[in-house]
Structure 1
Amino acid sequence: MPGMDDGHKTLVALLDVAHEAPDLALLGHWRNLVTHTASVFEREDLWMNATRFSSTHIHTTQHKVVLQVMHEGLSPGESGDLAPVRQMANELGQWFANHSQSMDAALALHLRKTGYDPATGVLSMPDDISLQACPQA
């Protein structure tokens, strides 16, 4: 899925920048990563809801938990303790690799199967008759 792939590539690039950031720049890069990640997750959540994806609940729950933890990392970082932020960056990379290869891959397959166009919200090949009445995204 091009829209999904682009968001993921940017997320990985921002994560790499955070990994390499010197201490003085780390929090700024972490904030950029949090903002971008929130937008990627929001877009995926919209797609799941618009197409009635069967694994929406568990997928969106993971998004919410990861974003909450990412936000919580800002507090110690703002107090000068950057170790938790760096640890989160390491763990986020591992989590994201697993998440994208499992949950996001399943979502992409579902979106292709239904012919979902993220730009218009149109389902060109609904695999379930109930999807034909889906609200546009």
Structure 2
Amino acid sequence: MTRLEWSDGLALELPAMDATHEEFVHLLAAVQAAADAALLPAWHALVDHTVAHFGQEDRWMQATRFAAGNCHSLQHRVILQVLGEGTERAQRHGELHVLRTMADELAAWFPRHTQTMDAALALHLRRVGFDPATGEVALPAHLPATPLQGCGGACSGQSPARPARPAPAIPA
């Protein structure tokens, strides 16, 4: 079982994001430690938090010209879909082991997501002077002229020397 604990290695120097991430880590730990009778309520608390958490980051991305369809937002949607499928299996079929497996997978996934996609977002938000509390951008001249594509990193934009390739189709 993969256990995740909050640490400085997960902090991104953006207090609003760090507080949300720390709460996620604590809620995930509660799921992992829950007895069967307490598992579904702990899971629902984690899922509710994650819906709000991802929604908040997605709104920040939109407010600062990250493209709505970038890979960061896409990953959020995929994770939420999988969490919903796990919830359904546990509620309809009593498959609590599915939630336990998903919790372990989330504990392995979250540090990678935080240290890559969220770190790039936090850097971008700091560059444009974004205030998460007010939604104000203090340095609008630093906003990208067009929405950032990909994950928002330097390699995500179009380069004249590297023409765009069509995105692979995602099966429905």
- TM-score, with normalisation over the residues of structure 2? 0.72
Which residue is equivalent to 1:108? Answer: 122
Q: 1:64, 1:54 → 2: CA distance?
A: 14
- Which runs of 4 or more aligned residues in structure 1 lie more than 2 Å from their structure 2 counterparts after TM superposition? 53-56, 128-131
Matched, 1:70 2:83: yes
Deviations 1:78-137 (A, max 9, x none): 222111110000001111110001000000000000000112221112314748xxxxxx
Percent identity between the aligned chains? 48
How much does 1:77 deviate? 1.1
Which residue is equivalent to 1:134? Answer: none
Instruction: Name whichever of 60-69 and 79-88 sits farther off.
Output: 79-88
Other structure's SS at 1:119 match: coil
Q: As a proportion of its length, which structure holds more helix?
A: 1
How many residues are aligned here? 131
Query: CA RMSD of the aligned region, Å?
Result: 1.6
- Retained in 2: the 8 A contact 1:23–1:82? yes
Matched, 1:17 2:60: no
Which structure 1 segments of 5+ residues have no match?
A: 132-137
Q: 2:95, 2:132 → 1: CA distance?
A: 40
Q: How does 1:38-77 map to 2 (within 5 A)?
A: 38-53=51-66, 57-77=70-90
Which structure 2 segments of 5+ residues have no match?
A: 1-13, 147-172
Other structure's SS at 1:87 match: helix
Other structure's SS at 1:59 match: helix
Which residue is equivalent to 1:135? Answer: none
Instruction: Name whichever of 97-106 and 121-130 sits farther off.
Output: 121-130
Aligned equivalent of 2:137, options 119, 123, 136: 123
Q: 2:117, 2:100 → 1: CA distance?
A: 25
